[in-house]
Structure 1
């Protein structure tokens, strides 16, 4: 990939993730589930009525003989600022973009008392950028206008299983098929040469990968009102099979030998690990929970780098809290509404000109389970944050994201018996 710093007069056009020009795109760290309103803090989070894929060991918390369906989408609004924008022909010092995508669909059930399972589809990484600038063509000093665009990403189709080992411990594994295509285009226009040169690079990636998790949970204190969960996750280093091809056209015509298969190779995904805790206090009609997570991906040993950039270890810290309130339905306490607050700080896996790209964000969440239609649930999460490598004059993204999740649950395999 070509680094943003290697051409002048950079101007963002319509893009939702400018730093996705590097590596395999912007790796998605959002849970796109109930944990999103808490900064996606969920390695130790357990829910009996929501699908939490942050740690596959959490599937054992689901209610027996219930099936769950969740789907959601996210709207993004981003503002980009850079000292280089002031030199753009438009004269603006910032650009904006907006986007909406369907992010996740998932299914889950508790097969028996010790086995919970889930399957779903969600994004793994995303490439979406559009930049224009200038580039020197050679010793004659001729300058060409250059546009870089990219789209696509890697999708994650997973099948997860969690198993209870006794009353206080569970383990789990997500088996995922990663697949997707990313297209990068470089359009070069030189007025003196009267030529429009377009280079299109297509990268196809796929493979089956695994991630593992464990949780320990217990209650303590007077009347066992306090709860503590400790969680851990681990992902081994695993390959992604890649096919890289290039097409070159000039003024719309394919150049001789302009279509080529560059390579069939293996891109390594790094080893990663994480840990977290969840501390809660519960009364008959309310529960308050405090959570914290840390996770790391070990990209540095893989040695990936390019013009002006390198891939290195990524770290993510997050914390959140949730207040859940219940109401009585037929003399049974049932969760009706919950409020969330969270935040995170992340050193991403990309460094530009020796400066790591950093991201931080804060979030609030609201969940409602309507009393009139108790089988439905709605979750809203609003995030605000910033992404930049904070080099002088570097591109800075300020974003606002709204995630909407709809949940439906019902009974099955009851053989006429009601479990609630």
Structure 2
């Protein structure tokens, strides 16, 4: 273990993220941000080396509900966004962390996840000039896109700064004085339930993939450059490219697999349908629709790997079968692999970059006994999954075999993050503890391999 922070937060650690701007060398560990159900976020300096950690910033006094996610600005080392159940996003200048310098509001319910959307040209929604839009996944089933206007001096108003210093005003009053820094440029419904995660398709600024509580993966077209007003928000059919909705349980996370890690090109290209399905799962079925959810059931492989159990909480869900993968080639640049965490299982599906359709290439990673909360890719090209069952499992991506399983905490592991150097894994628990682990793990491989 690199370091341990037993009481990092008083409630669950909801997310972890390393700063992309601080890449530590030697024994250092970089700069880590944690968010929590205690309504705060914190920054931890791990650069002092093995066993050392120091909370350098405690972002508090703004949010009125659990903080679900944090995001470092890709170009400005000093800017951090935090998303909360209080229906807002806060913008922080880390040089002056005593008070949020901006807010994005107007959400109907809590905000779960954020990502940056680059603005490629004038007229793509960023009239205020930051070069980046912010995409938000929310409890109300919508995706929001805001153009971000960063305060020029970090503090947009001296009145705001003075309010934070000993005035006795309540947090709610303070937050209303924080200037608005986001203009809504796009909004559309993607689910009838909570949107848990979002990711952009590789090399795209217009194709978004969502993972939601209604047990579906969906792909969408983003249109922030078009005329938008709040009374004409998009609807499902207006943006929907493809719908993969036959999972049995909610989808917690979605990630794009880096090129080349999933192994045989024939799988992604659909040349061997039997091989494309998870081991023991049988053939992959097809449907002839245009991309909206006519997928047949298949879960035998997941049940077999769980010892044939048929409990309600087991096996993560029906294994989704998709359309033909003909023309989806990772090597040719026309396709990629996605991994989705569904209950205690992780499912892999291939994805056509040009059409936004889900293909018939499929994988299943079955081994955890409780919800999977994190998906990380190591320097060695393996997959690390962390789970409520207190463990991490390292997987061979090409054949879905588990390599090793490591006990991380006594409590449930609720969040994870990989350092920019891929040498450290940070994990957070339901009790507010953070641990940071050196990679690669040095425990024995399963079966002594």
TM-score of the alignment, normalized to the shorter chain, above 0.5 = no
Return the index of the structure with the highest Cα Rg: 1
Q: Which has the higher contact order (CA 8 A, sep 6+)?
A: 1
Length-normalised TM-score, structure 1: 0.29
> If the length of structure 2 is used for normalisation, what is the TM-score?
0.28
